[in-house]
Structure 1
Amino acid sequence: MRPRGGQRRRPASARGAAAAVRAGGPAVPGAGGAAGRAAGRAPGGAQPGAAQGRHGAARAARWTLSSAARAAAARRPRAAGRVAGGRASARPHDAAAHSGRVRPGGWRGAGQRRVVNLTVVKVGGGLLGGAAELQRVVAALASRRPTGERLVVVASALRGVTDSLDQAARAAVDPRAGAELERDLVQSLRRRHEDAAGADGAAAALGLRTSLDGVSRLLTGIRLTGELTERTRAQLLAHGERLAAPLLAESLRAAGVDARAVHAEEAGLVARGPYAVGSCDLPASTQGLGGLAHELHDRILVLTGFYGLDSSGDVVLFGRGGTDYTAGIVAAGLAADRLELWKDVPGFLSADPRAVPSARLVPELSFDEACELGYYGARILHPRCLEPLRGRSLSVRVRPVEGERDAGTAIVERAAGAPGQVAALAHRSGVAVVTARGAAMVNQPGVAGAVLSAVGREGINVDAIAASMTSVSFTVDEADTPLVRRTLRLLAADGGAGIDEVELRTDVALVGLVGDGVAADPSIPARALSCLAGLGSPMELISHGPRDVGLSCVVPQEALGPALAALHRTFFESQVPSPR
């Protein structure tokens, strides 16, 4: 059927960006702010004056789709690799116009049938370190296709790439940084991805240049202006996944498996919130994801994790480890039968094996337990990964690459075991205890609220909290202590919270016991405190979270190892049948 209405012919620059994406190259966002304007003046970037105003590049790069064209797009098949979003509107000389950035939303998925026997697989960066590791992943994925299983793979950046991009961005702010910063990083990234592709010819087909050019432009802009905004940082860090997804897709094709890389822009992953730690709009994203469903009968789709695009077309990251969260969104949006999170560990263990060598595999956890372990510091699963999956009928498993289908840890909405059993231990180092004291706090309502609100307005996360008549104590990441100190001193100067003194202590660690109902069973805290007291180490901020799923305390950093070992002996190696 011929679509009603028509689309204007796109400017040559926008057509070129679309062609780059159709050819397999990543969509590269333009640099925003002063860094973006400076990138436009750099060799290879846009012409001077292209981005007018602080957000000129963002406005110029927004892609639009008329109502008539959108309705027609919903009725026609989607061409493989086509840029989601339809008609482009961009200035010919705008750097962002050449970058291929698109408005999220994708093609409509309404009216499409659910894909049967669909598994979403998240491949972590720890599994993408080099050629040998990549081939393990490729072999495992290829072995699933003959069974008739449909696969969507959500890929992280190669191990260490996100850190390299972040470090380079911060180094570029230094006025002493030279042009060799961009050159060295781009060469390093190119070698790293080509080496990972190995000798199977996948490197020749990789569309690395577009994304690497984007990395170079962004770093040049940061270096020339000395400015690193959260918006520009998000755009830069997203390139790690934009490089990894085509690498994995090309490696699958080299192994004889039809596969295609899909970026978050094309998949229509709609994000909102702060650039560094945003959230995904599942209803809006489901519309775009549905447009990919028809391809899943014939090929594996490899999606970029870690980020989405907001309503302005800007990159919004989902936080470190956010590819887990992306996989959860994709599984929910496509109504998948299974979600598998492939890791470089056997699954969830009863404790960190580096601290407790006798740690054992936990065969099953509830959603609440898995999330609580993530909040306490277990980096196996992003704490928000399971949010979009509640109330849905699908199986979730954290597992290694190889092994039987039931390998690893099953994550279920409600665990089968009786409540009041410790499922696992978790810990987090690098925390600080903050204490605000003041005699004027006595009988003054709202003191804790004022203190925590002031800290929250600065974007600082607070973990354990304890309060008395004359003090409020809480834990934060050690990196946030300078900002916390300044915030509370300003609050004390205003005199509103009755603060006389602010104390910050580092070199402490947070220890958590996790299990459904552990905090509600008085025997669990009693045994834990007795165990830790026997070590002779001080404990503080003993508290539990909502739903009685977790119990935590703070111990000195030097006592962390002995504390974890003693707790593991008490709850997992004793004769008392407390853990599962």
Structure 2
Amino acid sequence: MLVLKFGGTSVATPENIDKIKNIITGYTDRIIVVVSAFGGVTDQLINAGYRAQKQDDSYKTILKQIETRHLEAIKALLPVTDQSKVLSNVKRELNVLETLLDGAFFIGEITKKLSDKIVSYGELLSSYIIAEYFKSQGIDCAHKDSRELIVTGLANGRTTISLEQTNSNCINFFNTSKNKVVICPGFIAKSEAGDPTTLGRGGSDYTAALYAAALNAKVLEIWTDVSGMYTANPKMVKQAKPIAHISYEEAMELSHFGAKVLYPPTIQPVLAKGISIRIKNTFSPEDDGTLITKSKNEKGKTVRGISHIGNIALLSLEGPGMVGIPGVSKQFFEVLSQANISVVLITQASSEHSICIGISVDDVALAVAAVNEAFAYQIERGRINKVVPETSLAIVALVGDNMKNHQGLSGKMFSTLGKNNVNIRVIAQGASERNISCVIQEKDVKKALNALHEEFFEENIKQLNLFVMGVGNVGSKFLDQIQQQKKYLKENLKLNVRVIGISNSRTMVFDDDGISLKNWKASLAEGLKADKEEFFKTVNKLNLRNSIFVDNTANKAVSDTYKDYLRNSISVVTCNKIACSSKYTNYHELKELARVYNAPFLFETNVGAGLPIIDTLKHLIASGDKIQKIQAVLSGSLNFVFNNFSDKTTFHDVVKQAQEEGYTEPDPKIDLSGVDVMRKILILARESGTQLEIADIGNNSFLPEESLATTSNEAFFTSLKNHEAQFQNIYRQAAEKDTKLKYVAQFENGHASVGLQEIPKGHDFYNLEGSDNIVLFFTDRYPKQPLIVKGAGAGSDVTASGLFADVIRIGNY
């Protein structure tokens, strides 16, 4: 004997009912099929009853909708020749239902008995129609009303099952029934006095479990709309996967903490008998589903699933009058029990100063009033504080039988949440260590579930969610590199890099499933109007784990938003030098925010594009070395300009070429005036541990005053033409001495300066080609022969690669 239960979604439409027929015809064993009401009908019946007692005649509209749905199902499922009898019987039952609702309307009241009778019609009608359909398809099928089998009683005001009578009824009927398939309505029963009753939440599962236990069935199969119990809620965690085999205890823990496929109290009858349960998918019957048995899970498996309960509130009973006073806990929980309030989480400090519980937010008002009333005397005298609830919370739980045999799981859980700025309000762990629970903000649930699932189930593949501001030369190359390396990163570095948001100066676009980098330009063109404040708000609202803001602009207003990102534990990667070369207090605050909120702030490309200059400097400092002097050629654009400028070219044409090839800033005066180099040496000085402002840096500029005073690129280039003779004179003087012109930055003894210098043969700077950069680090360990970092220091490709490297650093963080 097998017992199969099909829920509301499985019987929601004629097409779904036909799927059930195909499923049961594949069995050779005798089958009991327990069905729920057509999806949504129970809610309609409850709503109709509520409106009727309020004397709102719109209940008639709901009743008409229920009637239409069932009659249309009959016409869709049954051959015309078989419809008449079934339509007649269903209409007769609906007439009785109408009479019940009319009665509630006229007296303006619904009793518990009447309510049970009204809502029972969902299962009565669905089971009858399905049974008649199966018969019309040649299936050896009978229909049995569960009210004739399941008997209920009352205990402490709650409905209970009279097991002895129920088991006797089930054995007598099913042992004498000869039909291969028996269809029974779930959820409904009768009291010992013969009145209709219902079995409450999960009632159809309970019906099926009672039948399975009474008949010692081989297995109880629960058919639903998912392929078993998942490692996490698949609606929130797309990487979640079905669990093939799980123990009763693990299943109950997961169900208690929000896994919707099972309601723990309803499976107690089969649990007591050791009967296996299998969760199957009506819409993918070929899937294995989840097998739930008495045996423990496979050796070596630790965390089996991650689940959560939303709409949680915390109540804390605390105060000095609790310490050493027996009976406080007893009184606290008695008050809640008498108010019929279920407690889902308990934790108590060892000091006995505080007891904290988690309850449904629906019970908050009642619980607060009851507790404050019960402890009014102690509250008035200051021995216990008045209870004030915390709401908008959720419980996240790790579940697994073998968790107790593995060290460090709690630490890994809390560390993972902490790295993603998920604040933990309360922690609870049972002595069995089958469950580790924590209370977090409701808004952080999706991020928490995904972060934990990634940590415990995804083979250490870490997902990075990028939000990219600026897609010009550097930004577009950056996106191209991500697209090109995506597969390599996943396979070799275990990093899944997704771009979630992109913005330029005109439009912005978001997709929390990841923007396709094959056609991101088209997506961006159709995006919303760009707004950096709205961009941040969207990033923050999405609240994705491992979020990284990537700034490819040279915009001060964008750099001013870094603090907002860091305060929300969103990492920042930038090639924009403005923030780190702004006032020292701002630079220091950004670094401090990154530390406090555990959000890396990386700006390797601020100096030397893709060269590991800042990274090298950090390693020197971290290892205990001290900087004596830094000498550097830090402007790829200026190096390009002076490497290509000669008496055969004009200074104007070389600078124009540098701009067109992407070596300079959009405003080339920033480079040629030395401001860009000043910013770079300032950043290196600060990273060396020196508090310095840009105004402290000496600048020996080679540009004429007219060029420095220009306010547009056009005027700037005109001024270069006007002073060509001056530039040629600078070149000639260097050539006569057989030296080369290099724009050099230097930092020594707390002082920094920049300026054009004539470099003689034999110097490390002399043969610096193209747009290359070079940095000489003179330190305590490298006092005479400096540590040298040299290579391409400008260009969109190398700058993009530097940004990419910073993103990977965060991925490996």
TM-score between the two structures when normalised by the length of structure 2 = 0.53
Deviation of 1:368 (Å): 0.8
**Aligned counterpart, 1:239:** 121
CA contact (8 A) 1:186 1:216 kept: yes
Tell me the secondary structure at the aligned position of residue 265 of structure 2. Answer: coil
CA contact (8 A) 1:151 1:296 kept: no
1:205-220 to 2 correspondence within 5 Å?
Answer: 205-206=85-86, 207-220=89-102
Verify: 1:426 aligned to 2:304, yes or no. Answer: no
Deviation of 1:405 (Å): 7.4
Aligned equivalent of 2:17, options 134, 157, 165: 134
Amino acid at match of 1:153: V
Aligned equivalent of 1:194, options 40, 63, 71: 71
Tell me the secondary structure at the aligned position of residue 384 of structure 1. Answer: helix
Deviation of 1:378 (Å): 0.8
Task: Tell me the number of residue pairs that the alignment of Structure 1 and Structure 2 aligns.
Answer: 452
Rounded to whole Å, the distance in 2 between the matches of 1:503 and 1:520 is 38
1:229-308 to 2 correspondence within 5 Å?
Answer: 229-273=111-155, 278-294=159-175, 296-308=177-189
CA contact (8 A) 1:150 1:296 kept: no
Q: Which has the larger radius of gyration?
A: 2
| Residues 482 and 194 of structure 1, relative CA distance in 2, 3 Å threshold | same
CA contact (8 A) 1:155 1:245 kept: yes
**Aligned counterpart, 1:361:** 242
CA contact (8 A) 2:142 2:179 kept: no
CA contact (8 A) 1:245 1:303 kept: yes
| Residues 169 and 191 of structure 1, relative CA distance in 2, 3 Å threshold | same
Tell me the secondary structure at the aligned position of residue 297 of structure 1. Answer: coil
| Residues 459 and 251 of structure 1, relative CA distance in 2, 3 Å threshold | same
Rounded to whole Å, the distance in 1 between the matches of 2:279 and 2:104 is 39
| Residues 241 and 489 of structure 1, relative CA distance in 2, 3 Å threshold | same
**Aligned counterpart, 2:798:** none
* Structure 1 residue runs without a partner (length 5+): 1-117
Pick which of 354-363 and 485-494 moved more: 485-494
Rounded to whole Å, the distance in 2 between the matches of 1:427 and 1:325 is 23
Q: Deviations over 1:329-371 (max 9, x none)?
A: 1001112122111111111111111110000110001011111
**Aligned counterpart, 1:224:** 106
Deviation of 1:304 (Å): 1.4
| Residues 357 and 402 of structure 1, relative CA distance in 2, 3 Å threshold | closer
Rounded to whole Å, the distance in 2 between the matches of 1:415 and 1:203 is 50
Deviation of 1:432 (Å): 1.5
Rounded to whole Å, the distance in 2 between the matches of 1:211 and 1:502 is 50
1:61-210 to 2 correspondence within 5 Å?
Answer: 118-144=1-27, 147=28, 149-175=29-55, 177-178=56-57, 180-181=58-59, 183-197=60-74, 198-201=76-79, 203-206=83-86, 207-210=89-92
1:531-546 to 2 correspondence within 5 Å?
Answer: 531-545=416-430
Verify: 1:564 aligned to 2:442, yes or no. Answer: no
Rounded to whole Å, the distance in 1 between the matches of 2:234 and 2:379 is 47
**Aligned counterpart, 1:438:** 319
CA contact (8 A) 1:435 1:504 kept: yes
Higher relative contact order (CA 8 A, sep 6+): 1
| Residues 552 and 491 of structure 1, relative CA distance in 2, 3 Å threshold | same
Rounded to whole Å, the distance in 2 between the matches of 1:140 and 1:530 is 46
Rounded to whole Å, the distance in 2 between the matches of 1:357 and 1:331 is 34
Q: Deviations over 1:377-432 (max 9, x none)?
A: 11101212331123536432111136677821111111241376111111111221
1:303-382 to 2 correspondence within 5 Å?
Answer: 303-382=184-263
CA contact (8 A) 1:272 1:316 kept: no
1:45-60 to 2 correspondence within 5 Å?
Answer: none
Q: Which has the higher strand share?
A: 2
**Aligned counterpart, 2:330:** 449
| Residues 474 and 224 of structure 1, relative CA distance in 2, 3 Å threshold | farther
**Aligned counterpart, 2:459:** 574
CA contact (8 A) 2:148 2:190 kept: no
Amino acid at match of 2:178: H
Rounded to whole Å, the distance in 2 between the matches of 1:494 and 1:228 is 39
Rounded to whole Å, the distance in 2 between the matches of 1:215 and 1:494 is 51
Pick which of 417-426 and 385-394 moved more: 385-394
Pick which of 558-567 and 515-524 moved more: 515-524
Pick which of 191-200 and 218-227 moved more: 218-227
Q: Deviations over 1:228-267 (max 9, x none)?
A: 4444333322222112110211111121113222112222
Deviation of 1:519 (Å): 5.1
Tell me the secondary structure at the aligned position of residue 337 of structure 2. Answer: helix
Amino acid at match of 1:361: P
Deviation of 1:550 (Å): 1.8
Amino acid at match of 1:119: L
Rounded to whole Å, the distance in 1 between the matches of 2:267 and 2:458 is 30
Tell me the secondary structure at the aligned position of residue 184 of structure 1. Answer: helix
Pick which of 383-392 and 329-338 moved more: 383-392
Rounded to whole Å, the distance in 2 between the matches of 1:532 and 1:491 is 37
| Residues 230 and 549 of structure 1, relative CA distance in 2, 3 Å threshold | farther
* Structure 2 residue runs without a partner (length 5+): 462-813
Deviation of 1:567 (Å): 0.4
Amino acid at match of 1:561: K
| Residues 454 and 218 of structure 1, relative CA distance in 2, 3 Å threshold | farther
CA contact (8 A) 2:321 2:378 kept: no
Rounded to whole Å, the distance in 2 between the matches of 1:402 and 1:296 is 30
| Residues 436 and 136 of structure 1, relative CA distance in 2, 3 Å threshold | same
Rounded to whole Å, the distance in 1 between the matches of 2:159 and 2:320 is 39
| Residues 546 and 261 of structure 1, relative CA distance in 2, 3 Å threshold | farther
Q: Deviations over 1:82-128 (max 9, x none)?
A: xxxxxxxxxxxxxxxxxxxxxxxxxxxxxxxxxxxx11100111111
Amino acid at match of 1:120: V
**Aligned counterpart, 1:91:** none
Tell me the secondary structure at the aligned position of residue 9 of structure 2. Answer: helix
Rounded to whole Å, the distance in 1 between the matches of 2:305 and 2:83 is 42
Pick which of 449-458 and 497-506 moved more: 497-506
Amino acid at match of 1:190: E
Verify: 1:555 aligned to 2:433, yes or no. Answer: no
Rounded to whole Å, the distance in 2 between the matches of 1:233 and 1:250 is 27
Deviation of 1:545 (Å): 4.2
Q: Deviations over 1:52-75 (max 9, x none)?
A: xxxxxxxxxxxxxxxxxxxxxxxx
**RMSD value over aligned CA atoms?**
2.5
| Residues 568 and 205 of structure 1, relative CA distance in 2, 3 Å threshold | farther
Amino acid at match of 1:160: G
Deviation of 1:486 (Å): 2.0
Pick which of 383-392 and 326-335 moved more: 383-392
| Residues 257 and 414 of structure 1, relative CA distance in 2, 3 Å threshold | same
**Amino-acid identity (%):** 26
Amino acid at match of 1:501: K
Amino acid at match of 2:70: H
TM-score between the two structures when normalised by the length of structure 1 = 0.73
Deviation of 1:196 (Å): 2.4
Tell me the secondary structure at the aligned position of residue 456 of structure 2. Answer: helix
Tell me the secondary structure at the aligned position of residue 341 of structure 1. Answer: strand
Amino acid at match of 2:21: V
**Aligned counterpart, 1:471:** 354
Deviation of 1:163 (Å): 1.2
CA contact (8 A) 2:379 2:386 kept: no
